Structure 1
Amino acid sequence: MAFSPSLAFAYPWLGLLWPLPALVYWLAPPYRSHRPAVRVPFFTALRRLSGAAPSEGASVSPRGLWRSLALFICWTLALLALTRPQWTLPPVHHEKPARDLLLLVDLSGSMDTQDFTNAAGEKVTRLAAVKQVLDDFLARRQGDRVGVVVFGDAAFTLIPFTADLKLARQMLGEMQVGMAGPKTAFGDAIGLGVNLFAASKAPAKTMIALTDGNDTASSVPPAEAAKIAKDRRVVIHAVAVGDPAAAGEEKLDEESLKEVAATTGGGYYRALDRDELAGIYRRLDAIEARKIETVSFQPRLELYWAPLAALALLSMAAQALRLVRRPRLRTAEAAR
C-alpha cells in the first residue's frame, strides 16, 4: 500500500484559542490612554459661558482596519506555529541485530598439530584450518554482533561484541597458538562468555565453542559453567577438532563437550579434517540463521518555522509602513 505524505499538528487543541482576540475585543473594556489637559487661566470663564460640566475622562484611540487585520493575521500565525505543524514522511524501516554470537577458540599448544589440510590440499595446523573456516563463517553473519574469547591457561576477551565483522575477521586472522597459554581452561572460557552476555540486550544469545583437548586448567568445571549459561538463556554449540584416541593434554573429552551442548540446548559436532569442519559451520549457519529485529519509525518534518518567519516579516512590514505614514499624517494635519 502506497504511503501519501500528509500534514499533521502536534498540538491541534491550541487551535481552540483562535477566537480569543475577538472575545477580548468584545468583552474587555477598551484601553484608555490618559493625556494631561492644557491649563488656561480663563477655564472658569469658558465653563460658565459654555454651560458644560467638566469631568475626568480618557481618549480612546481608534484602530484602523488594516492595522486590525495585520494584528489578527499575526495572532493566527503565532498560534499556527504553537500547534507545531509537521509534514509526515514515509515510514523508515531500520534493521538492527537481534543476536549476539560469541566464539570460544582454543589456543592451547595442541592446536599447532598439523593434521588438517587447507583449500589447496596442503598440510596446515588445526588453528590455521579453524581460522580459514571461521573467516568464511563470519563473512555470512551480517546483522549479528560477534565477539571472540580465546582460552589456554586462562580465558581472555579478544574481541568484545561488535557489529564490525571486518575487524572481527582481522583479529581472528592474528590469533596464534599459545598466546593464552599451553593448557585448556574451557570451563573458564564459558564463564567469561556468560559474563560478556550479562550486558547484552539481544533476544538470542549463542556461543560456538571450538576445542581440541580436555579441560585441565579451569577453576569452574565446564558442566557447572554450562548450567549457569542455561540459566542465562545462552545456547552453546560445541565443535571438537581433537583426536579422541590421543592421551594426556591432547586427549579430547567428548563426554564433557556433549554434556555442555546438551545442557544448553546446543549441538555437538566433531571434525577430523577441514572439509568436515567447514560442513559443521555450514550446518551451524543454517541452524543459527541470521536474526534481524525490524524497527520502524515515522519521520516528521517540522514546519513551525514557516509561520514564525511569516509573522516576523509581516510585523516588520506593518511597522515600517506605520513609520512611513506617520510623517505624512503630521504634514496633512499641519496643512489644515
Structure 2
Amino acid sequence: MYQLDLPWMLLLIPMPLLVWWLLPPHRETSASIRLPFFDQVTKAAGIEPTEGSVVPRRSWLQTGVDVLAWLLLVVALSRPQYVEPPLEKTEPQRDILLALDLSQSMDTRDFASPDGAANARVDAVRAVVGDFIAKRPGDRLGLIAFGDAPYPLAPFTMDHALVRTLVDGLLPGIAGPRTALGDSLGLAIRMFEKTDVPEKVLILLTDGNDTASKMPPLKAAEIAKTKAIVIHAVGIGDPAATGEDKLDTASLQKIATTTGGRYFFGADQSQLQGIYDELDRITPEDQRQLSWRPRIELFYWPLGASVLLVCVWYGASGLAGVMRRRSPA
C-alpha cells in the first residue's frame, strides 16, 4: 500500500501563485544615456518607443516545466512510502518458573501410577510436568532444580522442547541429597528480576523440608511478595514421614498464602496430574499481539525527477542560447 507520511505538505502546491500575487515584482534600474534627439533616432529606425519596465515573457513549455518540477518537489516533501503487509508477533505476558526438588528422597518408589504400580516420585514428576509444559505453548518457561543448592537449568524461554528435554533428564540426587528450599526461592527471585512481564508465577514442587538453605523460606516468600511473584506450592511424598524426609506442609502453605498462590498436596501420580491440570486452569494463557508494518521511503524518486527535469531544461535552454549567439548573422 502506498501512502504519504506528511500529506499536509500538499498544501504548499499553490504557494508559487500566492507569492506571485502577493509580493511586489522585482524592479531593477540600470544606467542609461539621455539623448536629446531620441525621437529622431526611433523614427529613423522605425521603432515606436514605449514606457515602463521590460518584463521577459515565459514560454508555455518553460511554465509547464517549472510547474511540474514544483509538483514533484512537493510530493517528495510529503514523503511517499510503500507500506508492506503487517508483521505480527505474539509476546507472552506471563513467565512461569518451575522449581523441582531433586534431593535423594525423590528416588523413593512409593508413588502409585494410574495402573497401580509403585513408581519413583521423580518418574511421576517427569511425566506430569512434561505434560504441563506441553499445555503452555504461549508462556515463557524457566527451570530450576534444587538439592543441596539451587541450580538454574533453563532461563525463561519459548523453547519448550529444550525445557521438556531437561525435565526428562532429571535424576534424583543430581543436585545433592538435601533440600535447599529457601535458597531456591531466592534464586527464583533473582531470575524474575531480569524479566519485565506483568505476571510472574513460580510453581514449586518438593517432597521434604528445608535442610540446607541459608535463606529461610518464609523470608524469601516475603521478598517474593514485594516483587509481585505468585508462588504455587506442591507437596508430594509421605506426610507421615519423620526427620529430613518429613514434608513441611505448614511452611509450604504459608509460602503460597503470603504470595497470593495456592498450596496442593499430591499423594500419587493421579493427584499430581490433577494438581498441574488445576494450575493450568488458574493460569490461562496471557499474550499480547504486536504488529508492525515496515515502510520503504520513496521520496527520492520525485525529488530526483524534479532536479533532473530542471537541470535538463535549463541546461538545454542555456546551450541553445549559446548556440544562437555563436551562429553567424
Determine if the TM-score, normalized by the shorter chain, exceeds 0.5.
Answer: yes
Per mean C-alpha deviation after superposition, the further-off stretch among 233-242 and 61-70 is 61-70
Residue in structure 2 matched with residue 270 of structure 1 by the alignment: 265
2:96 counterpart of 1:107 = no
Residue in structure 2 matched with residue 116 of structure 1 by the alignment: 111
Residue in structure 2 matched with residue 128 of structure 1 by the alignment: 123
Counterparts of residues 53-64 of structure 1 (less than 5 Å): 62-64=57-59
Distance 1:122 1:311 in 2: 84
Residue in structure 1 matched with residue 47 of structure 2 by the alignment: none
Distance 1:23 1:243, change over 3 A: same
| SS in structure 1 at match of 2:252 | helix
Per mean C-alpha deviation after superposition, the further-off stretch among 20-29 and 173-182 is 20-29
Counterpart code for 1:266: G
Distance 1:170 1:311 in 2: 62
Shift of 1:16: 3.2
Residue in structure 2 matched with residue 204 of structure 1 by the alignment: 199
| SS in structure 2 at match of 1:217 | coil
Distance 1:294 1:60, change over 3 A: same
2:8 counterpart of 1:13 = yes
Counterparts of residues 151-166 of structure 1 (less than 5 Å): 151-166=146-161
Please list the CA deviations of residues 268-327 of structure 1 after superposition, one character each: whole Å capped at 9, or x if unmatched: 112222222112111111111111123455665644344335435544654675488568
Distance 1:317 1:127, change over 3 A: farther
Residue in structure 1 matched with residue 73 of structure 2 by the alignment: 78
Counterpart code for 1:186: L
Distance 2:139 2:175 in 1: 26
Counterpart code for 2:302: P
Computed over aligned residues only, the root mean square deviation of the Cα atoms, in angstroms, reads 3.5
Alignment check: 8 A CA contact 1:187 1:223 kept: yes
Counterparts of residues 174-185 of structure 1 (less than 5 Å): 174-185=169-180
Counterpart code for 1:264: T
Counterpart code for 1:157: P
Distance 1:25 1:320 in 2: 25
| SS in structure 2 at match of 1:184 | coil
Residue in structure 2 matched with residue 239 of structure 1 by the alignment: 234
Alignment check: 8 A CA contact 2:113 2:124 kept: yes
Residue in structure 2 matched with residue 254 of structure 1 by the alignment: 249
Shift of 1:60: 7.2
Alignment check: 8 A CA contact 1:31 1:60 kept: no
Distance 1:207 1:301 in 2: 44
| SS in structure 2 at match of 1:70 | helix
Alignment check: 8 A CA contact 2:211 2:244 kept: yes
2:162 counterpart of 1:173 = no
Shift of 1:218: 1.3
Alignment check: 8 A CA contact 2:113 2:268 kept: no
Aligned length: 316
Distance 1:175 1:207 in 2: 19
Segments of 5+ residues of structure 2 without an aligned counterpart are 42-52
Distance 2:27 2:279 in 1: 83
| SS in structure 2 at match of 1:100 | strand
Shift of 1:130: 1.0
| SS in structure 1 at match of 2:122 | helix
Distance 1:322 1:169 in 2: 77
Shift of 1:9: 3.4
Alignment check: 8 A CA contact 2:10 2:78 kept: yes
Segments of 5+ residues of structure 1 without an aligned counterpart are 35-43, 53-57
Distance 1:174 1:315, change over 3 A: farther
Distance 1:274 1:31, change over 3 A: farther
User: Percent same amino acid at aligned positions?
Assistant: 42
Q: Which residue among 287, 291, 295 is the counterpart of 2:286?
A: 291
Counterpart code for 1:281: Y
Shift of 1:200: 2.1
Distance 2:143 2:179 in 1: 16
